[in-house]
Chains A and B, each alone.
Chain A
Amino acid sequence: MADQNIQRLLAQRSFTELGARQRARALLDAGSFRELIDPFARLISPWLPKQGIVPQADDGVVVAKGLIDGQPAVIVAIEGAFQGGSLGEVGGAKIAGSLELAAEDNRNGIPTRAVLLLETGGVRLQEANLGLAAIAEIQSAIVELRQYQPVIGLVAGPVGCFGGMSIAAGLCSYLLVTREARLGLNGPQVIEQEAGLDEYDSRDRPFIWSLTGGEQRHASGLVDGYVADDVEAIRGELHSLFAQGKPETERSRRHAWFLERLRAVDTSVQADAAAVRSAYQGAQA
């Protein structure tokens, strides 16, 4: 009886309410979590204090090595609560550097795999060009590592995944989302600022979710899995995708398919969720 209760509790453990460090720990095999450049290393942002902004000791990025389903793995978890999960120099280098080392492992015969827990608005504007440069390097490293092992991205929420990191998400071998997730290049406020209220009303939440929310992204084939906000469900999904191995063709390589579909879109009318679902039918084939 007690066992069953414990199992039920475990089975219902919310993932989105966990912080970045707890998320990484929860997805690695029990007891295998080992953090690199932990907060006590105090490698903080050299740029935030200069601008009167309180830094965080880990710069909002947790890098943890360990095992996933018994295989060597690195998990990178972005802390969405710190500066909106934005990437500056240190956090960005932590992600790029760990993916580079994972690729090097593979070249040396160690099958290190990677999971990216994406909770980010993209570039940290206070470190603008260094964030952007780091994201280019993260993207390069994903493409490199992906040749050897699946790189799996997860957007769990509540921040979502935007900016240059949404492009990084689009490079992953597999991308998972929850109902809480949003995925898009440009944040609603920026689109409204650049294109006007008629184009994009940043305060109309149902509208924004209908276009960029996890359910819509899944229904239109722009992600590979729609998972419950549940630690065990997410772990299970990671195990099964890693067991499946690399996809035959990554989504980001399917330019011919996407161009064909986009050329058939009637762009004289505004887009809505149903039109996208219908245009992208069969995207996961």
Chain B
Amino acid sequence: METLSFEFPAGQPAQRRALVGCVGSGDLEVLLEPGQAGTLAIQVVTSVNGSAPRWQQLFERMFREQQLPALNIAIHDFGATPGVVRLRLEQGLEELNHG
């Protein structure tokens, strides 16, 4: 298990919080909460050691496409594939808009 931190530029704080997923095998839970204006801070606790570059890459690719609101995101990962991570993050962002 390791704990990783990431930061990305962001817009204004999100208006609400959201939770998606579960720490089941091959899955993850994502908690999204309003953050400091301008900052998207992500903390990842993952069961897979040595995975920092993969997370960095995945986040960069995702956040290049869209400007996100300022958020603190906490991820508890139990060996999810990048596809599942992406899906859960998108679900979480979707919930922020509609929750």
Contacts and interface: CB of A to CB of B under 8 A. Distances in A.
A247 interface: no
Contact of B31 (A39, A54, A55, A79): A39
Interface in B53-98: 74, 76-78
A52 B46 CA distance: 9
A54 B47 contact: yes
Contact of A57 (B1, B47, B74, B78): B74
A85 to B, nearest CB: 10
B19 A82 contact: no
A57 B23 CA distance: 9
Which secondary structure dominates chain A's binding surface? Answer: loop
Nearest to A50: B1
Contacts, number: 44
Given A40-B17, A57-B76, A52 B1 contact: yes
Contact of A56 (B33, B46, B76): B76
Contacts of B17: 40
Q: How large is the interface on A (under 10, 10 to 19, 20 to 34, 35 or more residues)?
A: 10 to 19
B31 A57 contact: yes
Interface string A32-60: 00000001100000000100111111000
B33 A54 contact: no
A265 to B, nearest CB: 40
B78 to A, nearest CB: 6
B46 A54 contact: yes
Interface string A98-126: 00000000000000000000000000000
Contacts of B22: 19, 56, 79, 81-82
B23 A82 contact: yes
Interface string A68-109: 000000000001011100000000000000000000000000
B24 interface: yes
Given A39-B31, A49-B1, A56 B23 contact: yes
With a 10 A CB-CB cut-off, give which of A54, A81, A82 has the most chain B CB atoms. A54
A40 B76 contact: no
B45 interface: yes
Contacts of A82: 22-24
A90 to B, nearest CB: 14
17 contacts: A40-B31, A40-B33, A49-B45, A54-B45, A54-B47, A54-B76, A54-B77, A55-B23, A55-B76, A56-B22, A56-B23, A57-B19, A57-B74, A81-B22, A81-B24, A81-B27, A83-B23
Interface of B: 1, 17, 19, 22-25, 27, 29, 31, 33, 45-47, 74, 76-78
Interface of A: 19, 39-40, 49, 52-57, 79, 81-83
